[in-house]
Amino acid sequence: MSTTKTLSTAEARRDTAIDSAVEVFARTGYLGTPVAAVAEHARISTAYVFKLFPSKESLFVAALDRCFDRIVDALEAGAHAETVDQSPTGILDAMGAAYAELIADRSLIMLQVHAQSATTVPEIAAALRAGLERVTEFASTRSGASDAAVQRFLAYGQLCHLIVTAGIDGSEGHWAEVVSAGISHPSPR
């Protein structure tokens, strides 16, 4: 007897719409993306997307939640893969390396950037704070690191965002060397 769960058509389309929303909102942002663009990417009618998500805000929030799901999953995979250094620092370093690999998919990092720029929308601001809370609590609990170490981990992650989104890795000059010293990221996918 199989215990595999089969998704209903609505559940499958909901997942497809969310995955498409991650990609499309990451390219053109919350304000610049009509729901019709997400629907087209997902190959679902706009009306059906609105049946699944009653507003553009709820669709963006679902995409942002999916983004943070992927981040927490990557952090867990990184921590789990670390077999040599189980210290709080070792676990945070492993999580950071896993996150660096994850953001080679620029859609996840750009969705976060667009969420930060859309915090005037209360639902998006709340979802962004909830996602950051999840990441912070997970990093703290899973690593056992001090609050100060977790804060440095998060700050370093934000610096990585800046380096990747601004293309500082490829920039010349002392300023770029200062900002990106000792930090490398996989090539974007």
**Would residue 113 count as lying in a domain?**
yes
CA distance linking residue 51 with residue 111, whole number of Å: 23
- The pLDDT tens digits of the residues spanning 64-85 come to 999 999 999 999 999 999 778 8
**Would residue 56 count as lying in a domain?**
no
Percent of the chain with pLDDT over 70: 93
* Domain residue limits at 105: 61-180
**Would residue 163 count as lying in a domain?**
yes
**Would residue 14 count as lying in a domain?**
no
Residue in 60, 169, 49 with CA at minimum distance from that of residue 120: 60
Q: How many domains does the chain have?
A: 1
What is the value of pTM for the model shown? 0.88
**Would residue 76 count as lying in a domain?**
yes
